[in-house]
Amino acid sequence: MTPLRLSDYRVLIVPGLHNSGADHWQTRWQQRYPTFERVEQEHWDRPELPRWAERLEQVLRTSSRPTLIVAHSFGCLTTMHAAGLGKLKLAGALLVAPADPKKFGVEKTLGIARLTCPALVIGSTNDPWMTSSRAAGWADIWGCEFVNAGALGHINAESGLENWPFGLSQLTRLIHTVKTVVRPTYSRK
């Protein structure tokens, strides 16, 4: 597969609870690709789905460029909540190790959410926040393709992934899918 060609896209990093620290692959990607933007939450230790989704929507409104979301854990739930409200206009989404909506009492809310863009859910066979089979089930509900990444825990800093080449290859694959499926016309800002 050809290398990432990101100049056509705005890439938003959407971390989960407690943000993504220095050793997390999201932070490493942002360092490697300085144009990536992080959606900052006011309170990283409070998983307030409506507030987090509103913040994501605020950041999205600051540009009309086609946007790719790269979400992790509760950031995936945030993305899907905003999608369920019909407020997201995305080119594509990479949802990595989503937290289980049941653990946050938001199954009903997220059970009606769907993405209308190409999207991948990447899960792990030994993720303590959501089993692989539940992640695959949620991917189906959300209209996403499911990718099993193997035994990587919660696919976070503790997983020791560094720059996580497999994840980058999935982002590249997503971009190729976006280019073949979606031909949006956006003005550049």
**pLDDT on residue 4:** 61
**Residue 88: HSE in the Cβ half-sphere, 13 Å Cα cutoff:** 27
Which whole number is the average pLDDT over 121-138? Answer: 96
Determine what percent of the chain is predicted with pLDDT higher than 90. 87
Reduced to 3 states, what is the DSSP secondary structure of residue 73? Answer: coil
* Whether pLDDT at 164 is above 70: yes
Q: Summarize pLDDT for 102-123 with one digit per residue, the tens.
A: 999 999 999 999 999 999 999 9
Mind listing the domains of the chain with CATH numbers? 10-181 (3.40.50.1820)
Contact residues for 179 (Cβ-Cβ < 8 A; gap 6+): none
